[in-house]
Structure 1
Amino acid sequence: MASIGAVTRVLLGKNVANKVAAANTGFIKFYSTAPAYENIKIDVVGAKKNVALIQLNRPKALNALCGPLFVELGQAVRDFDADDKVAAIVITGNEKAFAAGADIKEMQNNTYSENQKKGFLKDWEDISNCGKPIIAAVNGFALGGGCELAMLCDIIYAGEKAKFGQPEINIGTIPGAGGTQRLPRYVGKSKAMEIVLTGNFIDAAEAERMGLVSRVFPVDKLLEETIKLAEKIGTHSPLIVKMAKAAVNQAYETTLKSGLLFEKSYFYGTFATADRKEGMSAFVEKRPPNFKNE
């Protein structure tokens, strides 16, 4: 993961960093009843109040991904994953930065043995282990660990001014939270090599062309459109959505032959669910389905 210091000092320049630090981060309204966190804000939004919204909230540090932030993020994701009222989760930052990298000061003096003993970055697994769909709404910089966090999500929507990159090479290290593994799977080996070996940024339009991002929106429409997507997902059976997510993810973990067997077993498995029966019955009877998550 690239550091916030390296990104702002070496690549962006102090002037940009100062402007970002002064950015207004109040573009999301959060209920006062939400649990208190220091590094994130959470809410439940949408017409049916079934979309969990998590905002990274370290604006003065460009949402640098420090350890305490990820502990809180992991806790929030686990809580929302266990909440039957939540259909999908949206993770976002602010208009200037989704997350511009890891907190270099926090890891600067780490040693190899300490990293091994403590399982450095293990908290990131809470994101990838979530059974519910997670959508990244990326405005501004998603660099280093920020890009890796976005790739941990199931779908990425981006604002038209978003910037992605893996600039770890500039500070003498390599991506450590999936950058060298997920990026080639999403954009291909050649493009991934170019991004990782140069540390260059890519803009939202290029990210969409290469398949890293699903769709691009105006900055002020991004969150609205992302919540709409989450609400659309929320109209389906939560149980079947979870199975569909697992089946798609399996494509990145196995051979085509094994993946097809996995898919077929899950497809057969849907016939043991009440929601599959309800869905097909509703289709035949030309009425909206009433899924029960069973």
Structure 2
Amino acid sequence: MSITVRHAASTAVITIDRPDKLNALDYTTIDELSAWLDNASADDSIRSVVLTGSGDRAFSAGADISCLAQSIDAGTAHALQDIVARGQGLTRRIEQFSKPVIAAVNGLAYGGGCEIVEATHLAVAADHASFAKPEISLGFPPPFGGSQRLPRHIGRKRALEMILTGDAVDAQRAHEMGLINHVVPASDLLATALELAVRIERHAPTAVHACLAAVTRGINLPIDEGLAVEAAWFATTVPTAGVRRGLDRFLSRSDMTSQ
């Protein structure tokens, strides 16, 4: 197995476990991550996911270059299927996952590793982490969705500087650009990610899912279409127990305050 999974209460902690390869994403690892997400989406005991890498050197150094080279040598059709379809499939699964996925970036996140961070809903980084888009040095653009997500997250010019130079940025710069939410000491990384998960899990699962889906689906739409997406997801929550409990809690507090 190229990944390990443990449970911290209702949070699943997934670790990319190839430390000798800086947690590079070979095809087996990508397929295992994708399959686990498919299964976990229907597991009600899992409320959130923290995704990290083994060791303290790398979250993921990106795609395993030996796999890429073999597929590219086999021709364009193989490369598109093996690399692009597989990599974009994984990042799409993460981005569209019905429960929050939080990246705990424990070292360098390069190439496909950075693209996974872009796809996660939230990200916390150790203060020694770094981020880079070095695909251009291999002669091709980011193939796991990074040429599309990164500009949407941090702006066109900042994204193009990373994509066109291949230069790394440190965790503080990644935070300033909006690629990650928090920078913490490495010793606090997992605890911070898990605490963030708990702060989300206190809310109704139906509400969390609706918020994730509304933002993910609507963020790239014109505002009127996005508002329609928001309305549709709001409508899904109206008859839920989560709304009833939330309203009852609020109204009971209001009644006590007014007395």
TM norm structure 1: 0.80
Matched, 1:74 2:40: no
- Residue 189 of structure 1 aligns with which residue? 156
Matched, 1:260 2:220: no
Q: Which has more helix, going by share of residues?
A: 2
Residue number among 59, 62, 65 corresponding to 1:104 in the alignment: 65
- Residue 7 of structure 2 aligns with which residue? 44
Alignment root-mean-square deviation, CA: 1.5
Check conservation: 1:100, 1:145, Cα contact below 8 A. yes
Residue number among 222, 231, 248 corresponding to 2:189 in the alignment: 222
In structure 2, what is the Cα distance between the partners aligned to 1:82 and 1:251? 23
Q: Which amino acid is 2:181 matched to?
A: S
Q: Which amino acid is 1:161 matched to?
A: H
Identity %, equivalent residues:
36
Report the Cα offset of residue 120 of structure 1. 4.2
In structure 2, what is the Cα distance between the partners aligned to 1:64 and 1:122? 16
Matched, 1:284 2:251: yes
Residue number among 74, 80, 95 corresponding to 1:128 in the alignment: 95
Report the Cα offset of residue 152 of structure 1. 1.3
In the alignment of these two chains, the number of paired residues is 247
- Residue 27 of structure 1 aligns with which residue? none
Secondary structure, counterpart of 1:41 in structure 2: strand
Check conservation: 2:101, 2:121, Cα contact below 8 A. yes
Report the Cα offset of residue 43 of structure 1. 0.7
Check conservation: 1:41, 1:57, Cα contact below 8 A. yes
Mapping 1:20-169, distance limit 5 Å:
38-45=1-8, 49-93=9-53, 94-110=55-71, 111-116=75-80, 119-121=85-87, 123-124=89-90, 125-169=92-136
Secondary structure, counterpart of 1:95 in structure 2: coil
Check conservation: 1:51, 1:86, Cα contact below 8 A. yes
Structure 2: tracts of 5 or more residues without a match:
255-259
Q: Which amino acid is 1:43 matched to?
A: R
Check conservation: 2:206, 2:237, Cα contact below 8 A. no
Report the Cα offset of residue 286 of structure 1. 2.6
Structure 1: tracts of 5 or more residues without a match:
1-37, 288-294
Q: Which amino acid is 1:112 matched to?
A: T
In structure 1, what is the Cα distance between the partners aligned to 2:89 and 2:227? 31
